[in-house]
Amino acid sequence: MSGFLWNFASFVVALGILVAVHEFGHFWVARRCGVKVHKFSIGFGKSIWSRTDKQGTEYTIALIPLGGFVKMLDGRVDELTDEQKNQAFDHKPLWKRSAIVAAGPMFNFLFAIIAYWLVLMIGVPSVKPVIGDLVPNSIAEQAGIERSMELTSIDGIKTPDWQSVNMQLISHIGLDQMSVTYAPIDNYGLERQTTLDIRQWQFDPEKESAIRTIGIVPYRPEIISTVSQVIEGGAAEAAGVQVGDQIIGLNEQPMTEWEAIAETIRNNPSTAMPIDIIRDGNPITLTLTPNARVIEEQTIGYVGIMPTSEPWPENYRFDMQFGPFAAIGEAVNKSYQLVDLTLSMLKKLVVGHVGIENLSGPISIAKGAGATADYGLVHFLMFLALISVNLGIINLLPLPVLDGGHLLFFAIEAVIRRPVPEKVQEVGYRIGGALLLALMTVAIFNDFMRL
């Protein structure tokens, strides 16, 4: 229950920030264009806080935190006096109306740049993308990529960490080939390049890792079977396992590889089995009965212990951090890559390279908000940047009821030199609303299927 409340609170904070940014864009440009703003609302429904400024604009935070709006003086819905006409949205020149509508998405993109700028100044703990192993007969192995190499770029885009590698791989879904550059770690003068044939590469982004399915296993420090943590109240504590114990056997089989130990535990829920350990140089045998846990309709065992991991080599880890001015260029580049990736995924969704089951709705966003908030401010800001870019792009889609639909009507008006008839606009709004509702229904259904 606490996890749900944390996710919900994080979701409300994230959505509130992004909606405020989007609506402030409309509001700020409207004010600059001389349009009177009646109301600036974050959320819908009953107001829980409000104040009115000297210009008569009411600022409101409403009960339902699922959006917001800016209500402007408009002759299509308001009775106007002659004096008010020059303050009405619909009486402004076409370029001003277009600027006001486009300002919402543009502010979302600007927010992403600012968020990344802050992240890059604070610094992001990162790991160099060093290849630990290759999956036999995989696309990467067949292309001749070597183990213990650092991936430096994909199709000319630098990949300083695994997140960058993952983004570039995902952007290549549905393409025929991909150019990968790699080098011995910290020896970039010896870079090599190869081309991967990805015509047969298929995977589900919701369930599988792009890095793993291409055949690359990231380097990880060796995990040894010495216990580093025992969870209070778990099966391991009940069996008498202690921190510092070295596991040498399980279920009457010699066993020191952590993957084998973990797999044996998962495959034996509620089954008593001997566990052989070395404690203070002395061999001891205990009886371990893994608890049972149901995950995705499968019952697995768990005992509540953590292994010991060897330390990372110093030259494999770094802080991605820049000064205030250098961070601006990097933030713009990161935001551009997010925009490019999002547009690419939308295109792949339309042509069928990505299934509609990959659409995510508010539940998935809430989980993402809660998870990134758990990791701290830097990760939460990166999440906000991602969602802000997505929000900006979605609002620019040429669907009536969205900002992009309004801009489409304005473009038609520029061509025919008169406003699009209101009846045509009304039909467009109904069609756009129906399509948007259908997409939201699919996204929410996908969210429930992932629970």
Q: Which residues are catalytic?
A: 23
Count of beta carbons in the 10 Å neighbourhood of residue 51? 9
- Phi, psi (rounded to 5 degrees) for 167: -60, -45
CA distances from 102 to 107, 306, 390, 412 (A): 9, 51, 15, 16
DSSP letters for 347-395: HHHHHTSS-GGG---HHHHHHHHHHHHHH-HHHHHHHHHHHHHHHHHHH
* Sequence-distant (≥ 6) Cβ neighbours of residue 199 within 8 angstroms: 176, 177
**Cα–Cα distance, 140 to 413 (Å, whole number):** 52
Cβ pair 265, 225 in contact under 8 A: no
Handedness of CA 83, 87, 88, 92 (dihedral sign): positive
DSSP letters for 257-304: -HHHHHHHHHT-TT--EEEEEEETTEEEEEEE--EEEEETTEEEEE--
The three-state secondary structure class of 1 is coil
The whole-angstrom distance between residue 342's C-alpha and the CA centroid of its chain comes to 11
Per-residue tokens: 157: 């885009």
Handedness of CA 208, 211, 217, 220 (dihedral sign): negative
Cβ pair 45, 85 in contact under 8 A: no
CA distances from 408 to 5, 16, 53, 91 (A): 40, 27, 33, 18
**Cα–Cα distance, 150 to 160 (Å, whole number):** 9
Cβ pair 69, 41 in contact under 8 A: yes
Cβ pair 244, 282 in contact under 8 A: no
State the DSSP H helix or E strand holding residue 327, giving kind and residue range, or none if neither: helix 324-351
